[in-house]
Each structure stands twice: as C-alpha cells, then as structure tokens.
C-alpha cells in the first residue's frame, strides 16, 4: 500500500466516522466560539404543511469545519458529530487536538474562522448582513445560493441521504425560500419576482464588499441551487442571477462553477457559458440506474440525466462538465466502471464520502471502510491523470473527499521524478 500523509488518513477517518467530544457542550461553552464556523450537532428536517424546517431541540454545537495542518500541507475537513466515533477532539490549554482510540494524532488542528465581514450589516435599503447573501466555504470558496431549500424536500421526494440543514421556524431568511412557494400557489415566477430586485441588489453589494477585502488565496466562485417544481424554473432563477452578477463582475477571472439540475435547453447553456461560467455540475450521486431512481426520486430519469451531461460537454468542452457521487452507497467496482464510461465522454466525477445523517432514510446505513475510500480515491486519481482532469476547487475548500490531497501527492511525486 502507498504511504499516505497523516492529513489524508485523518481526513478519511473524520469523513467516515465524524468526531466525538466531551462534555457535550465543549464548543457551546467555548469562550471564542462565536468567531468560528459552527453548526448544531443534530438536526431534524421535517415537512410541516408543505414547508421544511429543522425541528430539533438542540442547543449544542460543533465546528462545521476544521483545518488540518502537517508541515506545509493543509486541508479543510467537514465535521459531523458522532458519539460513537473513535476520533475525539479535545481542548487542552486553549488548543484543540485530535485523538484516535485515545492516542494523539500528530497533526495541528485549527477551527475555521468566520470572516468578520460576513457579519457586517448592510444599509437600511437592503436588509440583513453580507453573510445572508454570500458565504465562504472552507477558506476560499465564495458561494452564492440562488434560493434557500429544495422543492424535492417540500414535496416528499428528497434524496434519501440528504439532511438539507433547513432553517428553524424562528430564523429570519433573507434569501428567497422554497418554503414560501406555497404562498404563491407554487407559481415560481410570482415567487421569484416578489423578492428578485431586493435579493439581487443584496448580492451585488455583498460580493463586491467581500472581494474588495482580498481575503482569499484562490478565487473559487461557486453558484448552486436546489430544485424547484420544474427544471425551467431553476434555470430561470439561475440565469436571472448570473446575468445580474455579470454586469458588475467579470466571471472569467474566477474558477467558476454552476452546480444545478441539468439544463432545460442547449441555448440556455450556451448563454450561461457566455456570461463567464467555466464549468457546470449536475450531480448524479449514484452510478446505477435502478439505485439512482430509488435513492433520488425527485430527480429526472437516469438515462436522460446522463444524456444531459453528455450534451453539456458539447457546449462547455471536455473536462468542464462535472457530476458528484456519494461514495459508499453502492459497489465500488460498479461505480468506477460508470465513472470511467463518463470520463471517456468528457465528464469529471467528483465525490463525497457517505455519512449517515440523522432523520434520513439512510441514517442507519454504515459509512464505507477506510481502505475502500482510499482505494477508490486512488483509482479516481488514475482516471483524472489519464484524461487530464483536475479536482474541483483545492484542499482549502474541498471538504468532503481526499481527491485533492491524493492528486497533489501524485503530481508532486511525478514532478520530482
């Protein structure tokens, strides 16, 4: 077996198992926690009269991300709480450390700060804060979510591994939210037009202010959307937003991605490319027709989905169309065979390690084995190198896989030879 860095092995463990800590309010009571990215340790996404809310009565929190450092190498990792994990995070003399089976891991652990500018309030003509309109994932992925929520959840057809992380009923939501669609009798045009002007104005102010601070080592720009009643609805909202942003931001200057349901028309796709989007991503999640249609009942049929990916290559080019998969939901060999078939057509496979989420149909399904994650990831790197693909984002913003870490290791080894 190849020698793997402590970062790679630790990240696999964290993605597979999550993390535990004692006492349960370790981070809730931590004096500086407000300066770091956090989330509740448990959520309970629930459909309530056509809307989706988090109904968990949970007060305790944990870091949503941590930064792992070993020598000059760094990697961001998404966290989840799991009281049965063999990985424990401990606070010792105001520093955090990771332990595996009570043995300290030789790695530096840092909480990921909230950029203070995200808390900055906007003037009275635009309600909310900058962070209500734009977000930063990891250290340098600027993220714009077109609207809050996913219609597949509201209509009872959510992907079976997805916990969505919806807002609580009491939360103020600045973005257009799918929960309000019912107030417009599911008329997406009326729903979108009711908040579009204000929302786009807020995005303009927020992203302009964020970029002026030059906080980021890289310029990843990530646009994403859940689902709406029709694909056309989703793309109408996306095109409106991107067209508005392109009027004051040169998207060609960014490592830009659009993560969305497959296109409704090729003409639409061509217009999006002209606006400066470099890559599109349509997430299959599962590389098997029957399993896909059972796991993701709200998405289009598998064969049509794959055809849309292939069509997108004709517009964006070989290696500029991506699809994410959830590793651990199916046989590894089967997934790799389908990923290889898609790669031949110019489609890049990304992945996240499956994590069982509370209050989802797959909450009792086990995470994949350590060796399977490592072997799959190495074989995926082989495919990347064969077709000259590159991993999405970088190790400072890609939180849920080890593809960047292994790709960097392989390329540095090849270069040194």
Question: pLDDT tens across 164-215, in order?
Answer: 889 999 998 999 999 999 999 999 999 999 999 999 999 999 999 999 987 7
Q: Is the per-residue pLDDT at 417 higher than 50? A: no
Out of 32-36, 83-87, 175-179, 409-413, least confident range: 409-413
Count Cβ atoms within 10 A of the Cβ of residue 264 and give its class: 0-12 exposed, 13-18 middle, 19 or more buried: middle
Question: pLDDT tens across 215-229, in order?
Answer: 788 889 999 999 999
C-alpha closest to that of 324 among 247, 267, 386, 391: 391
C-alpha closest to that of 322 among 296, 283, 287, 289: 283
Query: What's the pLDDT score for residue 303?
Result: 97
CA 313 – CA 320 distance, rounded (Å):
7
- Helix intervals (H) in 40-160: 151-154
Question: pLDDT tens across 232-254, in order?
Answer: 999 999 999 999 999 999 999 99
pTM of the full predicted structure? 0.95
Q: Is the per-residue pLDDT at 415 higher than 50? A: no
Work out whether strand 61-63 and strand 38-40 pair parallel, antiparallel, or are unpaired.
Answer: antiparallel
Locate 123 and state its tokens: 């003037």
CA 32 – CA 30 distance, rounded (Å):
6
Any idea how long the chain is?
A: 417
Query: What's the pLDDT score for residue 1?
Result: 38
């Amino acid at each position: 077996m190849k020698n793997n860095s402590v970062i790679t092995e630790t990240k696999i463990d964290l993605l597979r198992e999550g993390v535990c800590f004692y006492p349960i309010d370790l981070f809730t009571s931590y004096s500086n926690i407000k300066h770091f990215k956090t989330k509740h340790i448990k959520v309970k996404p629930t459909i309530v009269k056509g809307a989706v809310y988090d109904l968990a009565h949970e007060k305790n929190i944990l870091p949503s991300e941590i930064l792992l450092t070993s020598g000059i190498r760094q990697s961001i990792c998404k966290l989840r709480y799991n009281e049965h994990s063999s990985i424990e995070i401990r606070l010792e003399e105001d520093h955090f450390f990771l332990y595996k089976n009570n043995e300290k891991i030789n790695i530096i652990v840092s909480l990921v700060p909230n950029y203070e500018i995200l808390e900055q309030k906007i003037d009275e003509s635009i309600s909310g804060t900058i962070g209500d309109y734009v977000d930063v994932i990891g250290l340098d992925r600027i993220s714009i979510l077109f609207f809050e929520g996913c219609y597949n959840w509201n209509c009872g057809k959510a992907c079976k591994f997805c916990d969505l992380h919806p807002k609580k009923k009491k939360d103020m939501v600045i973005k257009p939210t799918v929960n309000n669609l019912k107030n417009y009798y599911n008329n997406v045009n009326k729903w979108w037009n009711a908040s579009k002007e204000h929302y786009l104005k807020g995005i303009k102010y927020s992203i302009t202010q964020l970029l002026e601070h030059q906080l980021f080592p890289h310029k990843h720009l990530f646009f994403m959307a859940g689902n709406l009643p029709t694909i056309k609805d989703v793309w109408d909202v996306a095109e409106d937003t991107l067209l508005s942003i392109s009027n004051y931001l040169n998207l060609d200057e960014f490592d830009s991605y659009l993560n969305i349901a497959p296109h409704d028309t090729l003409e639409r796709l061509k217009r999006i490319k002209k606006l400066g989007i470099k890559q599109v991503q349509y997430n299959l999640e599962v590389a098997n027709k029957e399993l896909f249609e059972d796991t993701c009942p709200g998405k289009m049929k598998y064969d049509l989905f794959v055809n849309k990916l292939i069509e997108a290559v004709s517009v964006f080019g070989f290696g500029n169309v991506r699809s994410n998969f959830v590793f651990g939901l199916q046989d590894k060999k089967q997934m790799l065979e389908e990923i290889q078939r898609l790669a031949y057509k110019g489609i890049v496979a990304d992945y996240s390690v499956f994590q069982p989420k509370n209050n989802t149909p797959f909450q009792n399904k086990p995470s994949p084995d350590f060796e399977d994650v490592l072997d799959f990831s190495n074989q995926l790197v082989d495919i990347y190198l064969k077709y000259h693909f590159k991993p999405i984002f970088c190790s400072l913003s890609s939180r849920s896989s080890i593809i960047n870490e292994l790709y960097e290791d392989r390329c540095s080894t090849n270069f040194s030879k």
